[in-house]
Structure 1
Amino acid sequence: MLSIGEFASIGRVSVRMLRHYDAIGLLHPAVVDQATGYRSYTPAQIIALNRIVEFKELGLTLDQVRRIVDGEVGTQQLEVMLTTVRAELQRSLIEDAARLDRIDARLRTVRGESVMAQTSSISVDVRSVEPQRVATLTRRAPGYGSENVGPVIGPMYPETERMLDAAGITGYGPAVALYEADESGDGEGMFVIAGFVVPEDTREVPGLDVHEIAAVDLAAVTVHRGEVDGIDDSWMALTDWITQNGYELAGVCREVYWTPGDRPQSEWVTDLVQPVRAVA
């Protein structure tokens, strides 16, 4: 038999973690002294501990690991679990890579390199924007940034399409999105307003808010091409361009998606529209 300290040392986990595994039914000690409560383990249990540590380090939850260890998870279910974790990790890597790019850009600014050189790659059109009649849903996201908005806004468009189709509305599009800060509670969240431009004679669609997005006298508009994970960088480049060219922000921004959602994101074309006014 091995003491809990010896077993923890061999398995390269803490004694506290072993106690936690015992408490949640993940790995019980072989023997518990009834008088002292002291836990002891058999050398053979190191195999079970190694499996627990392996699956935990892969990113599975302890509840998922417990189900695997208890034999409740078949091969197909395990594949689904690992595929889901892999997708989450891949998304995290993409987000981290984008964050590294932004850090590098900010470092270049701190070191005195030309900010204009960083924004010269975008093309900006300053123009008026016509009013648009839209049918939209509103959902709350925990914060700004594609990592917070993406999981919320993604399902909103198929849901809106189903309601428009059910109401017999045809000829709608493109897709639009607006973002408004949530001032309630802790102030961390924001509202995502997403849907489609609809024909001018559309009055009511069950389940959707049919309304008009007001015209904009003056807006700075640029085009983001490709993955939505990189759209934050395009927005920052646009706002940099605005401040460098004699304008200031003058209202809530919007995004207009011209590419059908069933196309690969690498083909997407998105207008970024920011109301502005000339600096006096």
Structure 2
Amino acid sequence: MVVADPGWVDADAGCRCRRQRPRLGRCRCLCVGSAAANTLREETTISALEISEKPLPYVRLATLTESVSTQPEVAPVVGPLFDRVADALLASGATLGLPIAEYDMDRHGVRITVGFTYDGPAIEGLVIVELPAVESAFSATHHGSMATIDDSWRAVNDAITERGVTAVGPCREVYLQSESEDQADWITELQQPVSAN
């Protein structure tokens, strides 16, 4: 599995985060049961997607969180949140870790938490969030543009339904590689915790 290199530096921007920060589209993991989740997916995209069930490790993040009322409001929020977290980390002298976003939907909308793995002291303006280890989650690795990630999330959601388990709690997107502007080489791990029915 490809992992982001915390030592990578973008010489033009003075830090690796200028190209590393995910520029995401709308939330993809929250569409279970929606009309979009029930539409037909492109077989070419799904055929290459491997979905597995695995435990998720504990992760400590330096984060910011924002809530929006609807999924279409997610896209304009995620990138700037990552920018603010990265700026605060770099200003403190910290190195950027792996970028991770967590999406939690409830009756009020979507709570978006974005950050970077971080094991240092508290940083003013950021919130340290500890994502607990999860016993079981469905996981898939999406390759390429965020424009097609909905198809990958749809496949994960379909696999959850077919297996007879239930999605529980917030889902996560782990941006293993997110450097190019055109997103052609991006690698994003989709993670949805589940429980047996």
Q: Provide the TM-score with structure 1 as the length reference.
A: 0.52
The structure, 1 or 2, with the larger RCO (C-alpha pairs under 8 Å, 6+ apart) is 2
| Structure 2 gap segments, 5+ residues each | 1-24, 26-35
Q: Is the 8 A contact 1:134 1:196 kept in 2?
A: yes
* Corresponding residue to 2:97 among 173, 178, 197: 173
Equivalent residues, number: 163
% of aligned pairs identical?
34
Distance 2:168 2:111 in 1: 19
Q: CA deviation at 1:162?
A: 0.8
Q: Is the 8 A contact 2:178 2:185 kept in 1?
A: no
Distance 1:104 1:190, change over 3 A: closer
Is 1:192 the equivalent of 2:112? yes
Distance 1:136 1:262, change over 3 A: farther
Is 1:161 the equivalent of 2:86? yes
Q: CA deviation at 1:206?
A: 1.0
Q: CA deviation at 1:234?
A: 1.3
Distance 2:118 2:79 in 1: 19
Matching residue's letter, 2:103: Y
Is 1:105 the equivalent of 2:40? yes
Distance 2:143 2:189 in 1: 9
Q: Is the 8 A contact 2:62 2:128 kept in 1?
A: yes
Is 1:134 the equivalent of 2:61? yes
Distance 1:230 1:117 in 2: 11
Structure with higher Rg: it is 1
Distance 1:163 1:117, change over 3 A: closer
* Corresponding residue to 1:122 among 49, 60, 72: 49
Q: CA deviation at 1:260?
A: 3.7
Q: Which has the higher helix share?
A: 1
2:17 is aligned to none
| Aligned ranges 1:1-280 → 2 under 5 Å | 105=40, 120-144=47-71, 147-170=72-95, 172-181=96-105, 183=107, 187=108, 189-199=109-119, 202-261=120-179, 263-279=181-197
Distance 1:205 1:261, change over 3 A: farther
Root-mean-square deviation over aligned CA pairs: 2.8
Q: Is the 8 A contact 1:173 1:196 kept in 2?
A: yes
Q: Provide the TM-score with structure 2 as the length reference.
A: 0.72
Distance 1:103 1:213, change over 3 A: closer
Q: Is the 8 A contact 1:105 1:118 kept in 2?
A: no
Query: Per the alignment, in what secondary structure is the counterpart of residue 265 of structure 1?
Result: coil
| Structure 1 gap segments, 5+ residues each | 1-90, 92-100, 109-115
